[in-house]
Amino acid sequence: MVWLCKVILSLKVHPNKMRKIVFDIETRNIFEDVGKADPALLDISIVCIYDYSTDEYSSYLVEELPKLWKILEDTEILIGFNSNHFDIPLLNKYYHGDLNNIQSLDILEEVRKSIGRRVGLGNIAEATLGHGKSGHGLQAVEWWKKGNIESIRKYCIEDVKVTKEVYEYALKNGKIKYKDGEIIKDAIIDTKDWDNKKEAVLNRSLFF
């Protein structure tokens, strides 16, 4: 009973506090290999995440994905870059439920809504953070073919870090910077609802 009262009190004090996961996926192959631009046709090499509730980065090879499902069961928002159109459909291929039941924030979608076009994460990182990405997805595929798992893991975690930093910059400043040629421009982003729970999201309907 005392435990229950503490939980209720915690919910009253932090009504909008969410468990947030920033994530990224690397693949074993590319669209050219499967003959169609469908993420669900690709194969995952590794998934990396940052968990705001633990302040920790972690990674999961395909055989370790059951450990990730347990984390996602308690996740209230997934944060990624091009994640709604790439990462989530690909991850759903391996999952027995539907990850679309978790609230998601796709930073690329937010940028596209602001400026009317897509911009790469490397471009945004250079303009917004002053540093770019450590590599690109094609390198990760080559590393997989060579069995260089640790390089893939390091690269994927770096992408998660960059995505997290861009997300936090946008929350603080209400904008993201990007390069248009040699000119750095602002993409004004409406972030007021980013950290608010959406009542319609029933992530507890996920099953394992």
CA quadruple 4, 9, 15, 17: dihedral, nearest 10: -80
> What's the predicted TM-score (pTM) here?
0.85
* Rounded Cα gap, residues 9 and 165, in angstroms: 31
Query: Above 60 in pLDDT, residue 40?
Result: yes
For each of the domains in the chain, give its residue range(s) and CATH number, in order of start. Answer: 18-192 (3.30.420.10)
pLDDT in the model for residue 28: 95
* Rounded Cα gap, residues 51 and 72, in angstroms: 10
**Unique residue bearing structure tokens 């248009």:** 180
Who contacts 107 (Cβ-Cβ below 8 Å, separation ≥6)?
A: 79, 80, 81, 124, 163, 166, 167, 170, 176
pLDDT tens-digit series, residues 8-38: 333 333 444 679 999 999 999 999 999 999 9
pLDDT tens-digit series, residues 149-197: 999 999 999 999 999 999 999 999 999 999 999 999 999 999 998 987 7
Number of H helices, E strands in the chain: 8, 7
